[in-house]
Amino acid sequence: MKTSGNTMLITGGGSGIGRALAQAFHALGNQVVIAGRRKELLDETVAANPGMKAVVLDIQSAEAISRFAAQLKLDFPALNVVIHNAGIMRAEDLRDGALDDAEATVATNLLGPIRLNAALLPLLQAQPQATIMTVSSGLAFLPRAMTPTYCATKAAIHSYTQSLRYQLRDTAVQVLELIPPYVQTELMWPGQASDPNAMPLKDFIAESLRILTDSPEMTEICVERVKPLRFAEATGTYDGLFKKYNDATASSAAAK
């Protein structure tokens, strides 16, 4: 993926990893369009980055995605990069039988990217060179038990990305997967943004961009910090890491 001269869409671009990616790519000379549900966050991001564009999108709604994609094709016919970053992460107690959080998570994290990808793929395939980047998680490979549906959707996104890459292998559309570790954002709670156990957001973005620049052949963007999770199964450390990680998480939650 070239890192400049693109017209790119970043969903979930008003906060967290999405906003940081948008700012970084904007600074590199790309036309960046951010999308998200919260107009005030989008407006703040655009105001801080003159030339950036923003469009409100409810990624959970199939009808909203259809309308959004149709307008995007008209307004940005040179669109050649899509970064599927929008996502939610919620704790769930599977013993209580509640489904609201699970259904919202599936609609946002899995159906949203699949629907948007289907709507935009014809435009991307018409470009001389294009890139689709999904954003999964280290938790796709070693789940956090207290957020089961989030982890399941990220595992599904990883699988979907592999299939998409194979199906597009003979086209000009490159398919990448960004696999973040635990990063200092407000994805789950405000305190996460300053949690010393999480990777600083600026460091995550900087390392990810270095990989994109220095290793253009890489299809998975894995910073060093996420590799123990990504390769736990392959290295034979999965069972021990799973228990250690989830025991620690459970103890931390019980202490709050």
- What CATH number is attached to the domain comprising 58? 3.40.50.720
Q: Which domain holds residue 212?
A: 7-228
Q: CA end-to-end span of the chain, whole Å?
A: 43
Tell me whether residue 139 is in a domain: yes
Tell me whether residue 186 is in a domain: yes
Tell me whether residue 219 is in a domain: yes
* pLDDT tens-place string over residues 55-104: 999 999 999 999 999 999 999 999 999 999 999 999 999 999 999 999 99
Tell me whether residue 256 is in a domain: no
pLDDT value, residue 41: 96
Q: How far apart are CA 49 and CA 53, in angstroms?
A: 9
* pLDDT tens-place string over residues 201-240: 999 999 999 999 999 899 999 999 999 999 999 999 999 9
pLDDT surpasses 60 at 256: no
Tell me whether residue 82 is in a domain: yes
CB contact at 8 A, 135 and 180: yes
Tell me whether residue 181 is in a domain: yes
The continuous run of DSSP H or E covering 123 comes out as helix 112-125
Give 108's DSSP letter. I
Residues known to be catalytic: 150
Residue 150: pLDDT band by 50, 70, 90 thresholds? Answer: very high
Chain-wide mean pLDDT for the chain? 96
> Could you tell me what percent of the chain has a pLDDT over 70?
98
CB contact at 8 A, 150 and 165: no
Tell me whether residue 63 is in a domain: yes
pTM of the model: 0.96
In a 13 Å sphere around the CA of 136, the CA atoms on its Cβ side amount to: 31
Q: How many domains does the chain have?
A: 1
